[in-house]
Structure 1
Amino acid sequence: MYSALKRLIVGPPIASTEEAHTRLGRPTALTVFASDAISSTAYATEEILLVLVPVVGMVALNSLVPISLVVALLLTIVITSYRQTIYAYPSGGGSYVVSRENLGVLPSLIAGASLLVDYILTVAVSVSAGIAAITSAFSELLPYRVTLCLIAIAVMTLANLRGAKESGKLFAPPVYTYIVSLALLIGYGLYEIFLRDLPPMETNVSSLVELARQHGTPIGSDGLPLFSSLGMLLLLRAFSSGAVALTGIEAISNGVPAFKKPESHNAATTLIAMGLILGTAFMGLSVVAHNLKPTVSEEETLLSIMGRYLYLDGPSSIGDLGNVLYYVLQFSTFAILILAANTAFADFPRVSSIIAGDGYLPRQLTNRGDRLVFSNGIILLALVASILIVAFGGVTSALIPLYAVGVFTGFTLSQAGMVLHHRRVREKGWRRNQVINAVGALATFVVLLVVVVSKFAIGAWIPVLLIPIIVMMFKAIHRHYVRVATAISVPEGYRSKRHRHTVIVLVGQVHRGVLDAITYARSLAPDRLMAVTVVHDEEQQQRLQKQWEEYDIPVELRTIYSPYRELAGPVMAFIDELDREWPDDIVTVVVPEFVLSHWWEQLLHNQSALVLRTRLRMRPNTVVTAVPIHLYDRAEERY
């Protein structure tokens, strides 16, 4: 039943030799690796205003375009830098691999921890923002925000367990629908503003007062907020919030091996396409918002507010067509924000597998599943992101301060590593490339400092603390693997010496399984063979002794009394006693064990063999062997 259900959900397994057929072309790769970056257009402009408006009021709209221009410049620098990374490191891994090869172990672990934190937050932020788009259009769904977020993560997890190519084709229509819907909104907005003199929106005083109250702005006797002037720290906070538009840019450099050949060329082309879409849409939205002057709200997204005004409620309303365009915009925004998590689902497992391959994460994360995806990494990402969603109530703005620290830490280390790479390799044009990466490293480091300083008290302290903790976890895991490797290494001239062998067959009562276990134990030709039973009273012991004589079993039977009806403890104590007799002994414990045909039948047995085997495996110089007792005829599938 489990296998049939797995095939239904995940699909048939793919052979390793078919890996080339699972690679992505550029149109599909754009939906898989660029959806995170493109989706940030749905909330980056809004996040700038949500920082400024509650403190300084609607005058904040005057700062929107200048801040957006600085973000767009930073975007250009980072895109150019990562294009070089793609060609220099076509094996993928992004900032982790660049840092490992050029900066050393500790910087690479910091980069790796930053990447993993970034991807976890990508899922949490994208999904919460996507659900916010739906609850903006259907406010009655707002109380179910967290539940809807968890359902969305579950759907994304199942889709990605089926494979990156399959999920990419499945999610391509919503991604491209969003791009077209956003282009229509920006294009129509610019047309109405500059060619038809569309007036700005009226200030929604009640929303403005509520927003100011939520952010602690004092309210005057007239019931209006007492706004302050725009300060440098506030401006920096707004810039750092807008800089989330850069999230997801590194995803393509992490996933270069997933592209069709030539991998680096296709990845670089996709990166440029992503940058053009992202930069144009981000600046376009900022210009439209600057001129329309919408009143931002925690309850409704900026895209929804402007879409309603342009298509439905304002002087530019276009009737039924506007109604269609508005709801297409909302649903495509919901879809792109949900699907932005697909970038994390594509890259988190890949990066974690590289880190695990270096011995800093559990080795299970290097395993590919039936569909040639890193299934364990996908499931781990879904679980951690779900915990974040529940902890922060699915509120996007509550998660944003956690977001940018990991992003810009990875950016900075990657660009710094590329500076050293160019100096070491000295390829054609290396001086020019070194300058580009140096500027990128400096710019992203400055942004990182701005994010940490301006948002430390409102949540940025969490990743600042979390990233070092993850690095320490990496090191602890690596120390474990080093200890294991050292312990099992073969020294020069090592020869394994022979130990005396004692075999113990555990017996509860005489039945077919016990007789088979004794036959198996005798075939091992041990130095000492005995059967051991644990009894609670003399009657039980006499009954078993009578059976032993009746079946004429040619093996010594030893009896252990357990007045407190315990099994594992007395057996362990008995084996300790044998060890004292033969200190260099290897003890094999043979345990007859039922094999049942249905899972529910397990509930009808006390699982004493399982408990005992678990205890015995922790004991040195002890081998535990289970002899299965099949209770039914496999040929006829009956008892």
Structure 2
Amino acid sequence: MKSSFKRYVIGKPLRSDALGEQKLSKTKALAILSSDALSSVAYGPEQILIVLMTVGTLALWYSLPIAAGVVILLVALILSYRQVIFAYPHGGGAYVVSRENLGVNAGLVAGGSLLVDYILTVAVSVSAGTDAITSAFPSLHPYNVPIAIFFVVFLTILNLRGVTESASILAYPVYLFVGVMLLLIGMGLYHVATGQVPAELHPKVGTPVAGISLFILLKAYASGSSALTGVEAISNAIPNFKNPAPNNAAKTLLAMGAILAVLFIGIVSLAYFYGIAPTAEATVVSQLAEASVGRNLFYYIVQGTTAMILVLAANTGYSAFPLLAVNLSKDGFIPRIFQIRGDRLGYSNGILMLGAAAIVLIILFDGATEHLIPLYAVGVFIPFTLAQTGMMRKWWRDKPKGWIAKFTINTIGAAISFIVAMMFFVTKMPQVWPVFIFLPIIIFLFHRIKLHYQAVGEQLRLNHEELAAIEGNVFIVPVAGITKVVENSLHYAKSLHVEKVIAFYVAFDQADAKAFEEKWKAWQPDVRLVTYYSPYRSITQPLIKFIDKVEHQCTKTGHKVTVVIPQFLPKKGWHHMLHNQSSLLIRTTLLFHRNVVIMTVPFHLSK
């Protein structure tokens, strides 16, 4: 029943060799990896106007040069991350760039910031989309939290079904939003060009404004730069692209930058010409739509697509978080379970972790996560600054052809990103102070996990001398590699003087199987190795299938099958969650086999 329900919800398992079919085209990648950045045009321009309104409506003309400054930063970021894509084609983005060029701790600051930021992306985006829906239907307002949780569960399930399937479904509303926004901007500019918008609605550019200061302008600029969140997602998700992945990712990044620039400048310009000021009752986009076309069908289409894009912006987190987690996991800084592909070839543990964390945030903040937006934005500009500083160091060190132009681009981007990050800290300290607490805690945990894995590796690794050869009933020993745990179990099985000891290994690809067989032959030539290729990445099913075959033969002769399960036991209890509990799963499954004896040979770690 449980398996059938899972198949119904998630879909049938995919073979490992079907991974190529799960790669994204540029069209689909643009939709699911740009949704966060594109959705920010619904609130980025408004953030600029909110700050300027503290001085007065005459200050609204400053939104035009501020918007131009935001676009300059966008261009610098796009060009910078395009260079990151070609320099680091295996993905990882700011984390990999910072780690390689600025050191491990800088990489962990970038990686930790982005992990938290992707969780905030899901919580904030879904909550914002829910607010847009319940604003249109006030009777639903008491159900904000359940509705937001429903959207998170929906997106989690959709992503568990696979990257291609989620992209196929989510592409339509994203492109619909882009089309509707371009149409709205086009109609608005037409009205301006044809003189249908009175000049008295907006202050003249250059009008002196009493009370304006550099601090306010920088604060408005920093607030407007929140529209650039999500720009880095494509550089993290390069492995999800069809080949040639770096070229396709770079083209997608340029397309996203162009669309974002046009939408952002268009909405800010229209807001200026129409003299629109933000209010608690209506968003800037809502006021623009009403001023341009009135409250007709198109107005409600604008509102509906805006609500959709705000919810779907969360999908950028689902696309980038698992891949970033894989990179951190491969380096040993977070648990290895994040490297495991699920039935549909996605990194399902990362997807589930992201969904669960977002739901916790939504519940804790009762669906009102707008106070998290500054934290969300500063969590992006820290990696922006580190990534571009890292690229500066790379060009300075390597000095490839044309490195001066590349160095200049990254220098400009790093400087602006640093200024924006500092402005967030200075002007929004009440909202962003948690970064000074959670980032050190996260980095401390990263290092603790890394130290644990290093200690485990030292205790399990066989040195050169230990790799020398060691010399009725069948004993089957499931093995996951050539380690002291396996050696300990084989020693025990041989000490019982049994007739047959068979090692059983499950490989997830053919090349791995062949390589392991060669290593095994050199290490344990007297122990027969049976290798099984598992295209669906299951460990227990191939093992049970093999045990059933051996058990059937032994039953005829009255012999027993004994499964010797190697298991290492960490010194500290919390270390258990850092390791895959395969031995426990195997043991639990075999308890239902009457003619199989189960033996666990523990190997105790000392640190």
Per the shorter chain, which TM-score range? 0.7 to 0.9
User: Which of 277, 287, 301 lines up with 2:283 in the alignment?
Assistant: 301
**Structure 1 628/16 Cα, relative in aligned 2: closer, same or farther at 3 Å?**
closer
**Structure 1 629/400 Cα, relative in aligned 2: closer, same or farther at 3 Å?**
closer
- Counterpart for residue 15 of structure 1: 15
Give the whole-Å Cα distance in 1 for the aligned partners of 2:156 and 2:162: 10
User: Which of 293, 301, 310 lines up with 2:292 in the alignment?
Assistant: 310
Residue type matched to 2:591 in 1?
P
- Counterpart for residue 168 of structure 2: 169
Residue type matched to 1:276 in 2?
A
**Structure 1 482/200 Cα, relative in aligned 2: closer, same or farther at 3 Å?**
farther
**Structure 1 255/276 Cα, relative in aligned 2: closer, same or farther at 3 Å?**
same
**Structure 1 44/629 Cα, relative in aligned 2: closer, same or farther at 3 Å?**
closer
Give the whole-Å Cα distance in 1 for the aligned partners of 2:324 and 2:305: 29
Per-residue CA deviations over 1:564-603 (Å, capped at 9, x if unaligned) read xxxxxxxxxxxxxxxxxxxxxxxxxxxxxxxxxxxxxxxx
**Structure 1 410/155 Cα, relative in aligned 2: closer, same or farther at 3 Å?**
same
Please report how far the alpha carbon of residue 99 of structure 1 lies from its aligned counterpart in structure 2 after TM superposition: 1.4
Contact 2:318 2:351 in 1 (8 A): yes
Please report how far the alpha carbon of residue 448 of structure 1 lies from its aligned counterpart in structure 2 after TM superposition: 1.1
1:351-390 aligned at under 5 Å gives the runs 351-390=324-363
- Counterpart for residue 190 of structure 2: 191
Q: Tell me, yes or no, if structure 1 residue 282 matches structure 2 residue 281.
A: no
Give the whole-Å Cα distance in 2 for the aligned partners of 1:265 and 1:19: 19
**Structure 1 84/618 Cα, relative in aligned 2: closer, same or farther at 3 Å?**
closer
Give the whole-Å Cα distance in 1 for the aligned partners of 2:114 and 2:47: 22
Q: Tell me, yes or no, if structure 1 residue 243 matches structure 2 residue 225.
A: yes
- Counterpart for residue 150 of structure 1: 149
Q: Tell me, yes or no, if structure 1 residue 427 matches structure 2 residue 400.
A: yes
**Structure 1 432/151 Cα, relative in aligned 2: closer, same or farther at 3 Å?**
same
- Counterpart for residue 573 of structure 1: none
Give the whole-Å Cα distance in 1 for the aligned partners of 2:63 and 2:432: 23
Per-residue CA deviations over 1:138-177 (Å, capped at 9, x if unaligned) read 3333332222211111111111001111101101110010
SS at 1:237's partner residue?
Answer: helix
- Counterpart for residue 366 of structure 2: 393
SS at 1:34's partner residue?
Answer: helix
Contact 1:241 1:400 in 2 (8 A): no
**Structure 1 91/618 Cα, relative in aligned 2: closer, same or farther at 3 Å?**
closer
**Structure 1 330/264 Cα, relative in aligned 2: closer, same or farther at 3 Å?**
same
Q: Tell me, yes or no, if structure 1 residue 470 matches structure 2 residue 442.
A: yes
Give the whole-Å Cα distance in 2 for the aligned partners of 1:469 and 1:454: 24
Contact 1:237 1:455 in 2 (8 A): no
- Counterpart for residue 628 of structure 1: 591
Q: Tell me, yes or no, if structure 1 residue 332 matches structure 2 residue 295.
A: no
- Counterpart for residue 31 of structure 1: 31
Please report how far the alpha carbon of residue 524 of structure 1 lies from its aligned counterpart in structure 2 after TM superposition: 11
Give the whole-Å Cα distance in 2 for the aligned partners of 1:350 and 1:387: 22
Residue type matched to 2:129 in 1?
G
Per-residue CA deviations over 1:468-503 (Å, capped at 9, x if unaligned) read 22111111111111121122233554599x9xxxxx
Residue type matched to 1:9 in 2?
V
Please report how far the alpha carbon of residue 236 of structure 1 lies from its aligned counterpart in structure 2 after TM superposition: 2.5
Moved more, 465-474 or 370-379: 465-474
Contact 1:30 1:274 in 2 (8 A): yes
User: Which of 433, 439, 442 lines up with 1:461 in the alignment?
Assistant: 433
Moved more, 428-437 or 128-137: 128-137
Please report how far the alpha carbon of residue 629 of structure 1 lies from its aligned counterpart in structure 2 after TM superposition: 6.1
Identity of aligned residues (%): 43
Q: After the TM superposition, list the runs of 4 or more consecutive aligned residues in structure 1 that deviate by more than 6 angstroms.
A: 200-203, 523-527, 616-620, 623-627
**Structure 1 371/75 Cα, relative in aligned 2: closer, same or farther at 3 Å?**
same
Per-residue CA deviations over 1:392-428 (Å, capped at 9, x if unaligned) read 3333531211112111111111111111222333322
Give the whole-Å Cα distance in 2 for the aligned partners of 1:524 and 1:493: 20
Give the whole-Å Cα distance in 2 for the aligned partners of 1:394 and 1:50: 22
**Structure 1 617/437 Cα, relative in aligned 2: closer, same or farther at 3 Å?**
closer
Give the whole-Å Cα distance in 1 for the aligned partners of 2:335 and 2:95: 17
1:514-525 aligned at under 5 Å gives the runs none
Moved more, 463-472 or 264-273: 463-472
Residue type matched to 2:365 in 1?
F
SS at 2:400's partner residue?
Answer: coil
- Counterpart for residue 531 of structure 1: none
Q: TM-score, normalised by structure 2?
A: 0.74
Residue type matched to 1:377 in 2?
G
- Counterpart for residue 424 of structure 2: 451
Per-residue CA deviations over 1:282-313 (Å, capped at 9, x if unaligned) read 01100111122234234532212222232225
Residue type matched to 2:164 in 1?
K
- Counterpart for residue 513 of structure 1: none
- Counterpart for residue 56 of structure 1: 55
Give the whole-Å Cα distance in 1 for the aligned partners of 2:436 and 2:252: 32
Please report how far the alpha carbon of residue 92 of structure 1 lies from its aligned counterpart in structure 2 after TM superposition: 0.5
Contact 1:133 1:300 in 2 (8 A): no
Please report how far the alpha carbon of residue 461 of structure 1 lies from its aligned counterpart in structure 2 after TM superposition: 0.9
Give the whole-Å Cα distance in 2 for the aligned partners of 1:360 and 1:299: 46
Give the whole-Å Cα distance in 1 for the aligned partners of 2:161 and 2:403: 41
1:399-438 aligned at under 5 Å gives the runs 399-438=372-411
Please report how far the alpha carbon of residue 137 of structure 1 lies from its aligned counterpart in structure 2 after TM superposition: 2.6
SS at 1:282's partner residue?
Answer: helix
- Counterpart for residue 128 of structure 1: 127
SS at 1:56's partner residue?
Answer: coil
**Structure 1 298/352 Cα, relative in aligned 2: closer, same or farther at 3 Å?**
farther
Give the whole-Å Cα distance in 1 for the aligned partners of 2:5 and 2:411: 52
- Counterpart for residue 251 of structure 2: 269
Contact 2:362 2:369 in 1 (8 A): no
Moved more, 395-404 or 37-46: 395-404
**Structure 1 289/480 Cα, relative in aligned 2: closer, same or farther at 3 Å?**
same
Contact 1:68 1:242 in 2 (8 A): yes
Give the whole-Å Cα distance in 1 for the aligned partners of 2:571 and 2:414: 53
Please report how far the alpha carbon of residue 202 of structure 1 lies from its aligned counterpart in structure 2 after TM superposition: 8.9
Residue type matched to 1:257 in 2?
P
Q: Tell me, yes or no, if structure 1 residue 255 matches structure 2 residue 228.
A: no
Give the whole-Å Cα distance in 1 for the aligned partners of 2:336 and 2:210: 54
Contact 1:405 1:460 in 2 (8 A): yes
Moved more, 247-256 or 396-405: 396-405
- Counterpart for residue 112 of structure 2: 113
SS at 2:462's partner residue?
Answer: coil
SS at 1:342's partner residue?
Answer: helix
Q: Tell me, yes or no, if structure 1 residue 3 matches structure 2 residue 3.
A: yes
Q: Tell me, yes or no, if structure 1 residue 344 matches structure 2 residue 317.
A: yes
**Structure 1 495/101 Cα, relative in aligned 2: closer, same or farther at 3 Å?**
closer
- Count of residue pairs brought into register by the alignment: 485
Contact 1:137 1:304 in 2 (8 A): no
Give the whole-Å Cα distance in 2 for the aligned partners of 1:190 and 1:139: 33
Per-residue CA deviations over 1:228-264 (Å, capped at 9, x if unaligned) read 9344433322221110111111111111111111111
SS at 2:55's partner residue?
Answer: helix
**Structure 1 462/343 Cα, relative in aligned 2: closer, same or farther at 3 Å?**
same
Contact 2:201 2:273 in 1 (8 A): no
**Structure 1 297/144 Cα, relative in aligned 2: closer, same or farther at 3 Å?**
farther
Please report how far the alpha carbon of residue 339 of structure 1 lies from its aligned counterpart in structure 2 after TM superposition: 1.1
Give the whole-Å Cα distance in 1 for the aligned partners of 2:343 and 2:333: 24
Give the whole-Å Cα distance in 1 for the aligned partners of 2:391 and 2:571: 50
Give the whole-Å Cα distance in 2 for the aligned partners of 1:474 and 1:228: 50
Per-residue CA deviations over 1:495-550 (Å, capped at 9, x if unaligned) read 99x9xxxxxxxxxxxxxxxxxxxxxxxx99989xxxxxxxxxxxxxxxxxxxxxxx
Give the whole-Å Cα distance in 2 for the aligned partners of 1:117 and 1:19: 28
SS at 1:185's partner residue?
Answer: helix
- Counterpart for residue 441 of structure 1: 414
Q: Decide which structure has the larger Cα Rg and report it.
A: 1
Please report how far the alpha carbon of residue 186 of structure 1 lies from its aligned counterpart in structure 2 after TM superposition: 1.1
